[in-house]
Amino acid sequence: MSDAGTLDEYREKRDFNSTPEPSPESPGGQPKEEPIFVIQKHSATRLHYDFRLEVDGVLKSWAVPKGPSTNPRDKRLAAPTEDHPLSYANFEGVIPKGHYGAGQVIVWDTGTYRNVTEHDGKPVPMDRALREGHITICLDGHKLKGGYALTRFKTGEDESWLLIKTADQWADAQSDIVRNQPKSAISGRTIEDLSKES
């Protein structure tokens, strides 16, 4: 699962001559020391948050309609989408009308993560955790911190996962973080700012 072949679907869905999104070959996709995560707020046909984790040189991706929560009681639906190239982690901009995913994209949060998945007290590597449908990670982002679990509960055509905050010191049942912190973590812009520019 580490070969570039996992980006075929990403490539097929896009025309890189007319979308500002990076092609799989564009620079900026070199792995750093610690794996990164990014959450892109994407105002497509329906607003959603794309949750992406660097695994084996690509960004494994889920679309989360309601976005992440800091409340451990919230179960946020996460639908897997195609792998994205690492260079996509910095992408902000407007995908033109008529293109796949047309609409505004901002980097809502980004940072590094640690895989803390365990099974019977033993660490589970990311590729196995993904395959088995249970991942626990610790995020060090601008906005999100601490543990999150991603758990698959439905396989097949409509494969579905849940994104749930771990009950740790960064959990906060009161605040609505996606509502209270709408700005890009890298540029300070909002989706509305991009709508005005386009």
Residues engaged in binding Mn ion (CB under 5 A)? 42, 50
Q: Is 109 exposed, middle or buried (0-12, 13-18, 19+ CB in 10 A)?
A: buried
- Least CB distance to Mn ion at residue 40 (A): 7
Between residues 60 and 124, which has the closer beta carbon with respect to Mn ion? 60
Reading the block at residue 38, the tokens are 């990014």
Q: Give which of 91, 101, 106, 112 is closest to 29, Cα–Cα.
A: 91
Q: Indicate the residue among 48 and 117 with the shorter CB distance to Mn ion.
A: 48
- Complex with Mn ion: residue 93 or 146, whichever CB lies closer: 93
Q: How far is the CB of 101 from Mn ion (least distance, A)?
A: 5
Are 29 and 38 a contacting pair, CB within 8 Å?
Answer: no
Count the alpha carbons within 13 Å of 7 in the hemisphere toward its beta carbon.
21
Q: How far apart are CA 188 and CA 185, in angstroms?
A: 6
User: Minimum distance between the CB of residue 192 and Mn ion, rounded to whole angstroms?
Assistant: 18
Closest residue to bound Mn ion by CB? 42
CB of 169 to Mn ion, least distance (A): 31
122: phi > 0 → left, psi -120 to 50 → alpha, else beta; which? Answer: beta
CB of 44 to Mn ion, least distance (A): 6
Residue among 42 and 76 whose Cβ is closer to Mn ion: 42
Closer Cβ to Mn ion, 37 or 136, answer by number = 37
**Residue 81, Cβ neighbours under 10 Å: how many?**
18
Length of the chain counted residue by residue: 198
